[in-house]
Structure 1
Amino acid sequence: MDIQNHYYGHSSALANYCGMSEIRHIPGLLQHGWTVKSPVLAQFADFNDRGSNRKRLIWTSASRGFAMDGRENRFSDGSSMVTAVGAPFLYLLQAARDGVAVPKRTTGTVVLPVHGTALMKVSGDHEGFAEEVLRREGPSAVCLHIEDLAHPEIYRAWTDAGHEVISAGERRNPQFLGRILWMMGSAQKVVSNRMSTALLYAAAAGAAVQIYGPDFQLGENAETDPGLRMRELWPEFYEKSPDSAELKRIADMELGVQDMKSPDELKDLLGWNSRSVGAFWDYWASGPLEKAQAVLGLRKRPEGAHSGEAGLSPIHFLRHPLKHLPSPLPKLTPAVAVEPVRLKESGRL
């Protein structure tokens, strides 16, 4: 229904788990990242008036940040619009473990600074964070997001401090999640300066996790930045000496270990038991049109949706139109860990 269904190699991981020979369109929406509030508001709001024939597949039924039975997660008739299925990372991790394909923990520390997007910029002291990591961990591998790699000053802040910069690649690359699995599986410790999807992956994969460093501001409006809310809801991740077993328990819950489905169940929920002309049409035509209408203010989004983008004009979206438009479905890739891209010179992929 939307390109977000295929971000980060998620559809490839699920297709492998379901025994598919190719990736297909999904008649609905698949959560593409961990969220503090309901994915219905954080990720699905541009399609909020679609009926029950378009599923909303979220990761967990037990997040501290939102309840599945919340009003924002229900249709006007009171029926639930969301189904919890577990994060794609969990399925990839399980497949890699079953195939004895998880790398050994030979990497010291992997650092993932808070990153921005094409719409929401992050402001913060990368130089100061790089120096603090060097003092506390020594030279480390630093995974920079594709958006941050477009800023040479961010790349240089880390390399000048003696760290190696690596990347999982562009978010439409089907090997993205495999590269993240490599990092989370090979690192002895994973560090960030804020609670994040990657830290949950690391904790679930059994790595030591720690949060420290300058807290960057996400977006232009400090009031909509979820950083403080994260500290309030998940204080265990912000302790000076976190309990790894407790963090794994929380990560499993937030990622939806309890909601994982069998291959047949998941295949049915994804609409992959048969080909769908409707899903094809939604992906290439009606979905992009509805998103454009929501961005331009021609269709109303639910209250509280995309709060981090509050105050942005449509011009911000139109500056990067190709980032929001559909592209051919990604190729199916093996369910294995993939060594990340190692950047040696300019920092550009």
Structure 2
Amino acid sequence: MDIQNHYYGHSAAFAHHCGMNRIHHIPGLVQHGWTVKSPVLAQFADFNDRGANRKRLVWTSASRGYSPEGPENLFPDGSSMITAVGAPFLYLQKAVQDKGGLPDRTLGPLVLPLHGTALVKVSGDHDGFAQEVLRRDGPATVCLHIEDLEHPEIYSAWTDAGHSVISAGDRRDPQFLGRILWMMASAQKVVSNRMSTALLYAAAAGADVEIYGPDFQLGQNAETDPGLRMRELWPEFYEPSPDNAELKRIADMELGVQDMKSPTELKSLLGWNSRSVGAFWDYWASGPLEKAQAVLGLRKRPEGAHSGEAGLSPIHFLRHPLKHLPSPLPKLTPAVAVEAVRLKESGRL
């Protein structure tokens, strides 16, 4: 019902797993990134009607950061409002692996600095991080968020230090996840200055993972930055010489390997067994209206929701109105996402 269902090529990966040749609307909400707290608060709070008819599909039933039985995840009658289905990355990785399409580990160090968004800014020393990577790992490939590429000082911090810069593209691009998979499967080592979705992907893909560098601040309020909580809950990722086999085990759990569904099960959970006028209406009309009401403060968000956006006024959100509005569903077939792992060879990554 919301554009977030189609972020990063997630719905494309699901459609491919379900054997479908196009993407459909989803009557509910799909988790679009790893979270330190429940996705109900972190990603679904703009739609806090707690309605039983609105599915909330999350990645895992076993995160250290939250419990499915937590009060924020329960309907008033005590039943769970969330269903774990596994991360779309896992489905795409399995599909490419089954086809024998995973690349060899020919890419050297890959670096993914902590990034912000148009709404939540990150402040930190990119110059210092770039120099530290050069000292410790030599020239690296650096994947910058597409919005960081709009800042010349961030781009030049890395290129001036001798690193190569790439990007996975816009989050509405259905080939985004394929590019990320290619990077994680081909990199010998993946580095970041904070635990993140991408670092879990790297560990799940079997790459060596290491966290070091300056600790950037996420958001305007240091008290709501989840960096310290990450260190407390997942200390294994912050050790100087981490056990990568253990990191893979943790990543598999956090991404929901144990919760992956068969094509038949997933298709049913996504509401793709039949067309739904209600899902279409939710996506284009009622969903955007509910989100606008939440942004403008006309609809109450639950306590603890969107902590990284604390202190932002409605005017801040309205500076980027198109980022909140729905757009036509991706036209490319889901199968194209699988072929995205070959984009490096074609020079498009």
TM class by shorter chain equals over 0.9
Q: Residue 124 of structure 2 corresponds to which residue in structure 1?
A: 124
Distance 1:222 1:280 in 2: 39
Distance 1:50 1:35 in 2: 20
- Any residues of structure 2 matched to 1:1-349 within 5 Å, and which? 1-331=1-331, 332-334=333-335, 335-339=338-342
| Identity of matched residues, % | 83
Structure 1 residue 340: Cα displacement: 5.9
Structure 1 counterpart SS, 2:312: coil
Gaps of 5+ in 1: none
Conserved 8 A contact 2:20-2:334: no
Distance 1:164 1:341 in 2: 13
Distance 2:342 2:156 in 1: 22
Q: Deviations over 1:36-75 (max 9, x none)?
A: 0000000000111141111000000000000001000011
Distance 1:102 1:211 in 2: 25
Structure 1 counterpart SS, 2:46: helix
Structure 2 counterpart SS, 1:190: strand
Structure 1 residue 216: Cα displacement: 0.1
Structure 1 counterpart SS, 2:261: coil
Q: Deviations over 1:220-247 (max 9, x none)?
A: 0000000000000000000000001000
Q: Deviations over 1:228-287 (max 9, x none)?
A: 000000000000000010000000000000000000000000000000000000000000
Distance 2:307 2:98 in 1: 40
Conserved 8 A contact 2:50-2:75: no
- AA aligned opposite 2:277: V
CA RMSD of aligned residues (A): 1.3
TM-score relative to the length of structure 2: 0.97
Distance 1:272 1:191 in 2: 38
Distance 1:341 1:184 in 2: 13
Moved over 3 A (4+): 339-342
Distance 1:323 1:341 in 2: 28
Structure 1 residue 21: Cα displacement: 1.4
Distance 1:224 1:297 in 2: 20
- AA aligned opposite 2:280: F
Distance 2:342 2:63 in 1: 31
- AA aligned opposite 1:168: A
Structure 2 counterpart SS, 1:206: coil
Conserved 8 A contact 1:179-1:340: yes
Conserved 8 A contact 1:141-1:164: yes
Structure 1 residue 337: Cα displacement: 4.2
Structure 2 counterpart SS, 1:11: helix
- AA aligned opposite 1:214: P
Conserved 8 A contact 2:58-2:86: yes
- AA aligned opposite 1:135: R
Choose 328-337 or 270-279, whichever is displaced more.
328-337
Structure 1 residue 12: Cα displacement: 0.2
Conserved 8 A contact 1:60-1:85: yes
Structure 1 residue 219: Cα displacement: 0.3
Structure 1 counterpart SS, 2:7: helix
Gaps of 5+ in 2: none
Structure 1 residue 76: Cα displacement: 1.4
Distance 1:269 1:313, change over 3 A: same
Structure 1 counterpart SS, 2:334: coil
Distance 1:89 1:258 in 2: 14
TM-score relative to the length of structure 1: 0.97
Distance 1:84 1:3 in 2: 20
Structure 2 counterpart SS, 1:338: helix
Between the two proteins, the alignment pairs up a number of residues equal to 344
Structure 1 counterpart SS, 2:109: strand
